[in-house]
């Protein structure tokens, strides 16, 4: 140990002034954040707040597992699934329609206009769309469906446009040269080449939308989220905790199914 | 070639799509599944054109232009934006405090009992399974649900948002940290463990040098996600820009909502730029 010089040690530790400066500024930024919010993380660990938290958590147990309530949760979960499925399906259809101009099939002006529209749809978060759609369509799952459809159209439209742009042109050209009309050229020459990719993208977004649909209810857009919000406002903690468990179970099941499907695809060489 | 193809077919063969039957079958099956789903989702496009809804929405959206740019409101919005950024930063800092021990406990590359069939292997697997379950619950419940619960425990304001980010992102970071530690070169750590070093020393000298860059850049990426999540969490009362937007929406103040939306888009671009810049520096 003593035969190693200080300089060698420094080198071995990878000492550099910029790393330390970076770490120091990071510490300052984190400290400033806590200070700006006037939060003291240490206060969380006092005996008083521990006791308070314990009481708060205890109110959620035992969860309400009565058959009657489980049935209502099942209905809520089904509503969540329906919202996500219909929302994604509308988005896939609208996304494909918008992807046609966005991939430059109708000229440069149409391309930049639709790209702007898709970017706008995509950058407004689902929950904000849901709050707006509750105003436009009233409380309930329909508002949630519309919100998911709007946001997902932006995401899928862009992805679809990229797949269309990258699809090989030879089959379409062959059809054009043999005199097929433009619609049929697209349907038989381009669409079959990109369909697997479009379906993969849509399924992936559906998976994300199931998760999102569970929380859209917080602004009144139906599904499990609306149930949770309602039970918590009535201080029905036992019911709320069963809804939360249902949400968790839904997420875990969706994760497992998607991992299983993906493994199957890899094994099939897809 | 062109003339050879038709002559191979009988002259009366109708031109038909060979896949038509299966396509029609799948479409029919899809419609049969879809019909009850439409019913459950209460799919009634007519509601959009309901006179009352049209009026509310028309008035509201009409106010979007021009956006509210009064200095007083912009001052509020600026404070809320800083609050959102601070929530994300403080939340990720706490999330790391949670994720590092859990990630280290979960990682197989720091397991001494795995090197040989030593004592404590069963206990190690039990601890790992428990850690994995805790991380699953932390990240499986969406951050906004945590925020909604924590608002009830800590009252309205950013404290609930910070803790919600800490809990959810602690779960995500812990899982990914352990995966990063297992995916890199684990031989140095193993050599250290085999020659009798402790787990922490094996981590600092055997694993960290090789994976520090990846760990840091993933954390920065999650910070960027936390900024977006912090805005959303305001909708359940956890402070920041989202809470301001929720208030403006409830008052149907279109001008304020459109300003906040613009600020939100700029904030997301800014967080994205910061995250890309830091990750490029790290690379």
Q: Are residues A81 and A141 in the same domain?
A: yes
Measured between beta carbons, which residues in chain B are less than 8 angstroms from residue A211? 142
Q: Give the pLDDT mean for B272-283.
A: 85
Q: Are residues A126 and A235 in the same domain?
A: yes
Q: Is the CB of B247 inside 8 Å of chain A's CB atoms?
A: no
Q: Is B63 contained in some domain? A: no
**Cβ A142–B209 below 8 Å, yes or no?**
no
Q: Are residues A147 and A201 in the same domain?
A: yes
Q: How far is A199 from chain B (nearest CA, A)?
A: 14
Domain interval for residue A36: 2-58
Q: Are residues A26 and A119 in the same domain?
A: no
Q: Are residues A40 and A152 in the same domain?
A: no
- Residue B206 in contact with residue B239, Cβ under 8 Å? no
**Cβ B145–A34 below 8 Å, yes or no?**
no
Q: Is the CB of A178 inside 8 Å of chain B's CB atoms?
A: yes
Q: Are residues A191 and A217 in the same domain?
A: yes
- Residue B163 in contact with residue B236, Cβ under 8 Å? no
pLDDT value at residue B70? 86
Top residue of A31, A127, A224 to mutate, by most chain B CBs within 10 Å, is A127
What tens digit of pLDDT does each residue of B60-111 get?
888 788 888 888 889 989 999 999 999 999 999 999 999 999 999 888 888 7
Helix or strand run (H / E) with residue A192: helix A191-216
- Residue B87 in contact with residue B237, Cβ under 8 Å? no
- At residue B277, does pLDDT exceed 50? yes
Q: Are residues A53 and A109 in the same domain?
A: no
Q: Is B12 contained in some domain? A: no
- At residue A64, does pLDDT exceed 80? yes
Cβ–Cβ pairs < 8 A, chains A and B: 129
Domain interval for residue B149: 73-282
What tens digit of pLDDT does each residue of A93-142 get?
999 999 999 988 888 899 999 999 999 999 889 999 998 888 888 888 99
Q: Are residues A53 and A106 in the same domain?
A: no
Q: Are residues A134 and A16 in the same domain?
A: no
CATH number of A120's domain: 1.10.3720.10
pLDDT value at residue B4? 46
Cα dist from B170 to A48, A248, A261, B212, B232, whole Å = 24, 17, 27, 18, 18
What tens digit of pLDDT does each residue of A134-181 get?
888 888 899 999 999 999 999 999 999 999 999 898 999 999 999 889
**Cβ A137–B94 below 8 Å, yes or no?**
no
Q: Count of domains in chain A?
A: 2
**Cβ A33–B209 below 8 Å, yes or no?**
no
Q: Count of domains in chain B?
A: 1
* Touching A: B residues 32-51, CB under 8 Å: 34, 37-38, 40-44, 47-48, 50
- Quote the pTM value: 0.83
**Cβ B228–A32 below 8 Å, yes or no?**
no
Question: pLDDT: is A264 or A189 the higher one?
Answer: A189
- Residue A198 in contact with residue A92, Cβ under 8 Å? yes
Instruction: Tell me the percentage of chain B whose pLDDT exceeds 70.
Output: 94
**Cβ B47–A56 below 8 Å, yes or no?**
no
Q: Is B151 contained in some domain? A: yes
Mean predicted lDDT score pLDDT of chain B: 85
CATH number of B103's domain: 1.10.3720.10
Q: Is the CB of A30 inside 8 Å of chain B's CB atoms?
A: yes
What tens digit of pLDDT does each residue of A11-29 get?
666 557 777 888 888 899 9
pLDDT value at residue B85? 93
Q: Is B15 contained in some domain? A: no
Q: How confident is the model at residue B237 (pLDDT cuts 50, 70, 90)?
A: confident
Lowest mean pLDDT among A75-89, B127-141, B188-202: B188-202
B22-41 burial code (b ≥16 CB/10 A, e <16): eeeeeeeeeeeeeeebbebb
What tens digit of pLDDT does each residue of B198-225 get?
888 888 888 888 888 889 889 999 999 9
Which position has the token pair 């038989």?
A: A188
Helix ranges restricted to H, chain B: 4-8, 20-40, 51-62, 71-106, 121-140, 143-154, 158-183, 187-194, 199-202, 208-233, 240-250, 254-282
């Amino acid at each position: 140990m003593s035969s190693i010089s200080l300089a060698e040690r420094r080198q071995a530790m990878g000492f550099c002034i910029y790393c330390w400066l970076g770490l120091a500024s990071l510490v300052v930024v984190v400290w400033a954040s806590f200070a700006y919010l006037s939060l003291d993380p240490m206060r969380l660990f006092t005996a008083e707040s521990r006791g308070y938290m314990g009481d708060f958590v205890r109110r959620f147990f035992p969860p309400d597992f009565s058959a009657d309530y489980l049935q209502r949760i099942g209905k809520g979960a089904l509503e969540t699934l329906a919202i996500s499925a219909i929302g994604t399906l509308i988005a896939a259809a609208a996304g494909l329609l918008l992807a046609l101009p966005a991939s430059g099939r109708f000229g440069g002006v149409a391309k930049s206009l639709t790209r702007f529209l898709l970017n706008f749809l995509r950058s407004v978060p689902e929950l904000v769309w849901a709050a707006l759609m509750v105003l436009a369509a009233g409380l309930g799952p329909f508002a949630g469906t519309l919100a998911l459809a709007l946001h997902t159209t932006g995401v899928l439209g862009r992805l679809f446009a990229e797949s269309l742009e990258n699809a090989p042109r030879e089959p379409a050209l062959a059809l054009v040269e043999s005199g097929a009309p433009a619609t049929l050229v697209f349907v038989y020459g381009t669409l079959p080449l990109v369909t697997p990719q479009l379906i993969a993208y849509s399924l992936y977004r559906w998976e994300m939308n199931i998760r999102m649909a569970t929380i859209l209810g917080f602004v009144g857009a139906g599904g499990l989220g609306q149930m949770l919000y309602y039970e918590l406002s009535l201080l029905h903690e036992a019911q709320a905790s069963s809804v939360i468990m249902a949400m968790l179970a839904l997420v875990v099941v969706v994760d497992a199914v998607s991992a299983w499907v993906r493994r199957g695809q890899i094994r099939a060489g897809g | 070639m062109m003339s050879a193809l038709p002559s191979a077919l009988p002259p009366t063969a109708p031109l038909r799509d060979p896949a038509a039957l299966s396509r029609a079958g799948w479409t029919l099956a899809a419609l049969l599944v879809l019909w009850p789903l439409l019913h459950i989702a209460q799919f009634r496009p007519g509601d959009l054109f309901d006179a009352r809804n049209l009026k509310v929405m028309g008035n509201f959206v009409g106010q979007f232009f021009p956006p509210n740019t009064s200095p007083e409101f912009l001052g509020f919005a600026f404070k809320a934006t800083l609050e959102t950024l601070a929530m994300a930063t403080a939340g990720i800092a706490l999330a790391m405090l949670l994720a590092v021990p859990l990630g280290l406990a979960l990682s197989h590359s720091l397991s001494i009992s795995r090197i040989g069939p030593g004592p404590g292997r069963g206990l190690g697997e039990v601890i790992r399974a428990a850690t994995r379950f805790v991380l699953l619950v932390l990240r499986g419940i969406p951050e906004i649900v945590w925020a909604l619960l924590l608002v009830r425990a800590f009252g309205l304001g950013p404290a609930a948002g910070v803790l919600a980010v800490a809990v959810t992102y602690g779960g995500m970071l812990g899982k990914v940290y352990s995966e990063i530690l297992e995916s890199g070169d684990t031989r140095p750590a193993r050599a250290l463990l085999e020659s009798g070093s402790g787990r922490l020393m094996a981590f600092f000298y055997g694993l960290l040098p090789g994976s520090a860059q990846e760990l840091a850049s993933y954390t920065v990426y999650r910070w960027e996600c936390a900024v977006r999540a912090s805005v959303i969490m305001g909708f359940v009362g956890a402070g920041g820009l989202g809470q301001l937007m929720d208030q403006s929406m409830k008052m149907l103040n279109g001008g304020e909502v459109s300003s906040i939306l613009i600020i939100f888009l700029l904030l997301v671009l800014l967080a994205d730029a910061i995250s890309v810049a830091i990750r490029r520096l790290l690379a």
